[in-house]
């Protein structure tokens, strides 16, 4: 797994600043022992932070906050490693002819709008089949919206869904895959 240099720097900055904060806050409390009439009395003086300690705490807290936010947002936008491997193997396998060249797929993409079109494009770009949970990771749509949109595409017989463990496998319908190939020259000739 490749880790970017900025991520390493942010992780080290977070760890170091947390260490500085903890070290500054957990300092020993001064005590005074007063002996009056042969009875010792222990007096604990409250911890008072000087300007230097307060400045150290503020700077270390800012660095820790910025580093934590960077690490959070950096890891949240990266897909899972398993998903990356699945995507690269699907792209290598490929089918002949490409799904984008099929007239049925091309027509469906021209007719559909909004989330239906976006989801169909993603399915086509992934070789015509993928898992529903992977679709959720790629679109950032809610699970309900994806499920509703897939149900609409399934009712139109554009896709098929089959149970696949705890998720569903989404595939282009057979008639969509068997469609006639789309030739861009035909489109140019018809436009004339």
pLDDT in tens, the chain (192 residues): 456 788 888 889 989 999 998 888 887 777 777 888 878 887 777 777 788 888 999 999 999 999 998 888 876 665 444 444 444 444 444 445 577 678 888 888 888 889 999 998 888 888 888 998 888 888 888 889 999 999 999 998 889 999 988 889 999 888 888 775 444 444 343 333
* pLDDT at 180 (0 to 100): 55
Residue 99 CB burial class (10 angstroms; 0-12, 13-18, ≥19): buried
Looking at residue 77, its pLDDT comes to: 60
Strand spans (E) along 91-158: 129-131
Domain shared by 85 and 171, yes or no: yes
- Number of structural domains in the chain: 2
Judge if 163 and 85 occupy the same domain: yes
171 with 120, same domain: the answer is yes
Residue 54 sits in the same domain as residue 32: yes
Q: Report the CATH number that the domain containing residue 150 is assigned in CATH.
A: 1.10.10.10
Is residue 9 included in any domain, yes or no? yes
Domain limits for position 114: 81-177
pTM attached to this predicted model: 0.45
Q: Are residues 130 and 62 in the same domain?
A: no
169 and 85 co-located in one domain: yes
The C-alpha angle 170, 153, 178, rounded to 5 degrees, equals 70
Contacts of 108 (CB under 8 A, 6+ apart): 120, 158, 176
Q: Which residue has the tokens 């932070």?
A: 49
pLDDT tens across 12-58, in order? 998 999 999 888 888 777 777 788 887 888 777 777 778 888 899 99
Distance CA 83, CA 120 (A): 18
Q: Does 67 share its domain with 116?
A: no
Answer for the pair 144, 157: CB distance below 8 angstroms, yes or no: no
- What are the start-end ranges of the E strands in the chain? 31-36, 39-44, 129-131, 159-164, 167-172
Domain membership flag for residue 182: no
Cα 5 from Cα 13, distance rounded (Å)? 12
User: pLDDT at position 152, please?
Assistant: 92
């Amino acid at each position: 797994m490749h880790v970017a240099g900025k991520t390493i720097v942010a992780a080290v900055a977070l760890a170091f600043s947390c260490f500085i904060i903890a070290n500054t806050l957990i300092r020993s409390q001064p005590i005074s022992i007063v002996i009056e009439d042969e009875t010792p009395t222990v007096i604990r003086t409250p911890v008072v932070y000087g300007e230097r300690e307060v400045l150290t705490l503020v700077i270390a807290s800012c660095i820790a906050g910025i580093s934590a936010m960077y690490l959070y947002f950096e890891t949240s936008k990266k897909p899972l490693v398993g998903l990356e491997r699945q995507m690269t193997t699907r792209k290598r396998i490929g089918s002949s002819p490409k799904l984008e060249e099929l007239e049925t797929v091309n027509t469906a993409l021209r007719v559909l709008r909004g989330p239906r079109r976006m989801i169909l494009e993603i399915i086509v770009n992934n070789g015509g089949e993928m898992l529903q949970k992977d679709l959720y990771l790629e679109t950032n749509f809610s699970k309900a919206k994806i499920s509703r949109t897939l149900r609409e595409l399934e009712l139109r017989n554009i896709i098929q869904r089959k149970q696949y463990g705890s998720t569903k496998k989404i595939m282009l319908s057979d008639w969509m895959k068997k469609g006639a190939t789309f030739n861009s020259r035909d489109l140019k000739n018809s436009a004339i």
